[in-house]
């Protein structure tokens, strides 16, 4: 028997993820405030629910992929939210990126309605969401993870159960701080190469074959150098994620100088007018700091 899966959050990441759920053979039900998005999903055979409460009445398993904890809290705790009535044996697979303690708060609200949660933030960008090759890092009870496995496998290639509830969000915070710190190194290297009269594209190609190679050098540097900065993963969302990484570190009283600096650089990137561009727009900030006009040298 086909499982019916609900999905909320049909943005840059979520749309591709939801399509892959449908293509994997699940019956898909979505809810969205966008008539255009609703029509797109109707055309691929999905049903459209009026609100999250109706979605919970129709689906035992629901995936969410929304920008932040306030958006998720509204979906769960609102008047027509997932927890507005009983949702016995319901399971929320939350692919949003929020703080571990915020996941715990959502879980408490859903437990009162009879449902449980796994946190399942993702990495791999819009390309990975479209192709179903995301890395998904999951926290939660083992039985809930096993129940979610087939849905997760429809959306990602590398599925990891990393610990109890909130652990997935902790690992995602680690991922985001490493990506952002690496971006600083990449854009400083591009600035150095440019100042020394070396074509940054050549520098990138050479370093991509040696010890400095990384996903950031491969993808983020290329997006910047090719002036392909339409999101993608927006700079304002990476700024939010680094705020989470800082908050988690502060909670545990650990030293995070590089994370703090990366967060400040992302704040500056957004304040410089690039909040809605891809996070690789940090490269534009480095141009400004190096006295270049935007786009000079690319």
Known active-site residue 3:
no
Closest CA to 155 of 115, 124, 110, 112: 124
CA distances to 18, 74, 168 from 93, rounded to whole Å, are: 12, 16, 11
Residues 6+ apart with CB under 8 A from 234: 275, 276, 277, 278, 279
* Torsion angle defined by CA atoms of residues 158, 160, 166 and 169, in that order, rounded to the nearest 10 degrees: -30
Catalytic residue among 112, 143, 172, 240: 172
* Rounded-to-integer distance, Cα 57 and Cα 140, Å: 23
Closest CA to 136 of 63, 71, 200, 80: 63
The two structure tokens encoding residue 297: 């040298």
Residue found by looking up tokens 């400004």 in the block: 288
Q: Which residues are the active-site residues? A: 172
């Amino acid at each position: 028997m086909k499982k019916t899966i609900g999905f909320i959050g049909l943005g840059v990441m979520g749309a591709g993820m939801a399509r892959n759920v449908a293509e994997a053979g699940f019956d898909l039900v979505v809810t969205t405030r966008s008539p255009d998005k609703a029509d797109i999903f109707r055309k691929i055979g999905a049903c459209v629910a009026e609100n999250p409460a109706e979605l919970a009445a129709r689906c035992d398993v629901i995936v969410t992929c929304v920008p932040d904890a306030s958006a998720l809290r509204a979906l769960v705790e609102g008047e027509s939210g997932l927890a507005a009535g009983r949702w016995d044996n319901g399971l929320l697979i939350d692919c949003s990126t929020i703080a571990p303690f915020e996941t715990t708060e959502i879980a408490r609200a859903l437990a009162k309605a009879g449902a449980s949660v796994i946190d399942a933030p993702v990495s791999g960008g819009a390309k990975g969401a479209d192709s179903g090759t995301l890395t998904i890092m999951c926290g939660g009870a083992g039985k809930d993870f096993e129940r979610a496995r087939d849905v997760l496998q429809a959306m990602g290639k590398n599925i990891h159960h990393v610990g109890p509830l909130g652990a997935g969000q902790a690992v995602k915070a680690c991922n985001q701080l490493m990506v952002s710190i690496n971006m600083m190194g990449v854009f400083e290297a591009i600035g150095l190469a440019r100042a020394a009269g070396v074509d940054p594209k050549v520098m990138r190609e050479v370093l991509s074959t040696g010890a400095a190679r990384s996903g950031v050098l491969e993808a983020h540097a290329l997006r910047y150098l090719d002036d392909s900065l339409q999101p993608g993963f927006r700079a304002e969302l990476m700024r939010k994620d680094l705020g989470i990484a800082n908050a988690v570190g502060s909670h545990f009283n650990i030293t995070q100088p590089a994370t703090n600096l990366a967060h400040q650089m992302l704040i500056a990137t957004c304040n410089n007018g690039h909040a809605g561009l891809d996070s690789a727009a940090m490269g534009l900030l480095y141009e400004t700091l190096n006295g270049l006009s935007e786009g000079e040298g690319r």
